[in-house]
């Protein structure tokens, strides 16, 4: 059982013990209440104060223009009316962004110099789900989309675990494996429903999935069947099926795992 799931289940039991009335509600409703409480409680948790002198990418000067210029291209960044088909989607039509996966997506040690810093989940600079600063400081997918739609929501705004306020809709968990895909998809949906700035039915969402490195790079050596390519496909399909059935207006961005030969080199 993933540690995050154990934490949620433990809180559920504590809530029921302290409030007998909760015995009368369904499991799904209890889970929703639990997630809501966790989301609020962890807003107070934080890592040590961030420092500008952490490892940074080269800043892009202000005189360097954004590569896609709306005024010169003649193509509007955002549709005049929200498209009904994903095939008509423009970058500015994306209102909500989220991400799931392992330590790559949670940004572990993204700006750290020491090995001990690997425990720091630097989600705000995650390439797939971080929105700290601007694209000139941190060239992430959300920061690029913020140029097309300044009202974009859902990107991580700082450091913290997947239930922290800073995480927003970046639900990636360090050391995740394929088996966690469905669980993370469910957490993404639950957090999105609770987000005050998300119109769940009408907003277009972009959700990036990058998972499987732990299975490929280590666990496959111990259990070739459970962590095989076929198992990866099966677990990924479970998560995708859940998202397809439960989330309207969703663009899923599935990224293939990195080749292990390249990682070794």
Are residues 37 and 103 both part of a single domain?
no
Are residues 17 and 118 both part of a single domain?
no
Are residues 79 and 124 both part of a single domain?
yes
Are residues 127 and 77 both part of a single domain?
yes
56 part of a folded domain: no
Reference 108, options 123, 129, 127, 128; nearest CA is 123
Tokens encoding 160: 């913290």
Sheet (strand 94-101) strand order: 94-101, 204-210, 250-254
77 part of a folded domain: yes
CA dihedral 164, 207, 99, 185 (to 10 degrees): 70
Average pLDDT of adjacent 10-residue blocks, the chain of 265 residues: 44 51 53 55 54 70 84 76 92 96 90 82 94 93 96 95 93 87 93 94 96 72 74 88 96 84 52
Are residues 216 and 85 both part of a single domain?
yes
Are residues 16 and 118 both part of a single domain?
no
Are residues 40 and 71 both part of a single domain?
no
What is the total count of domains within the chain?
2
49 part of a folded domain: no
Are residues 38 and 65 both part of a single domain?
no
Are residues 14 and 115 both part of a single domain?
no
pLDDT in the model for residue 53: 54
50 part of a folded domain: no
Are residues 115 and 6 both part of a single domain?
no
pLDDT in the model for residue 194: 92
pLDDT in the model for residue 51: 60
pLDDT in the model for residue 118: 83
Are residues 138 and 176 both part of a single domain?
yes
Are residues 73 and 183 both part of a single domain?
yes
pLDDT in the model for residue 232: 80
51 part of a folded domain: no
pLDDT in the model for residue 4: 43
Reference 255, options 194, 192, 209, 205; nearest CA is 209
The CATH number of the domain where 218 resides is what?
A: 3.40.50
pLDDT in the model for residue 8: 45
18 part of a folded domain: yes
68 part of a folded domain: yes
Range of the structural domain that residue 3 is part of: 1-44
Whole-model pTM: value is 0.75
13 part of a folded domain: yes
């Amino acid at each position: 059982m993933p540690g995050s799931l154990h934490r949620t289940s433990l809180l559920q039991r504590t809530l029921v013990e302290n409030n007998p009335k909760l015995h009368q509600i369904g499991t799904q409703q209890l889970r929703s209440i639990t997630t809501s409480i966790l989301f609020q409680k962890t807003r107070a948790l934080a890592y040590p104060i961030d420092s500008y002198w952490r490892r940074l990418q080269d800043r892009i000067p202000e005189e360097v223009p954004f590569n896609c210029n709306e005024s010169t291209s003649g193509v509007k960044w955002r549709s005049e009316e929200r498209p009904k088909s994903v095939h008509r989607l423009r970058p500015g039509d994306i209102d909500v962004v989220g991400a799931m996966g392992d330590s790559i997506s949670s940004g572990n040690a993204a700006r750290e110099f020491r090995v001990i810093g690997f425990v720091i989940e630097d989600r705000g600079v995650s390439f797939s789900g971080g929105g700290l600063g601007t694209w000139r400081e941190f060239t992430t997918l959300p920061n690029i989309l913020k140029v097309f739609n300044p009202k974009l929501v859902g990107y991580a705004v700082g450091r913290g675990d997947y239930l922290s306020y800073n995480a927003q809709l970046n639900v990636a968990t360090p050391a995740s494996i394929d088996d966690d895909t469905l669980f993370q998809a469910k957490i993404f949906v639950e957090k999105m429903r609770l987000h005050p700035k998300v119109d769940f039915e009408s907003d277009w969402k972009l959700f990036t999935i990058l998972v499987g490195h732990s299975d490929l790079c280590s666990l496959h050596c111990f259990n070739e069947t459970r962590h095989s390519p076929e198992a990866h496909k099966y677990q990924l399909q479970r998560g995708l099926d859940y998202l397809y059935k439960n989330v309207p207006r969703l663009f899923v961005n599935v990224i293939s795992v990195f080749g292990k030969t390249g990682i070794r080199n």
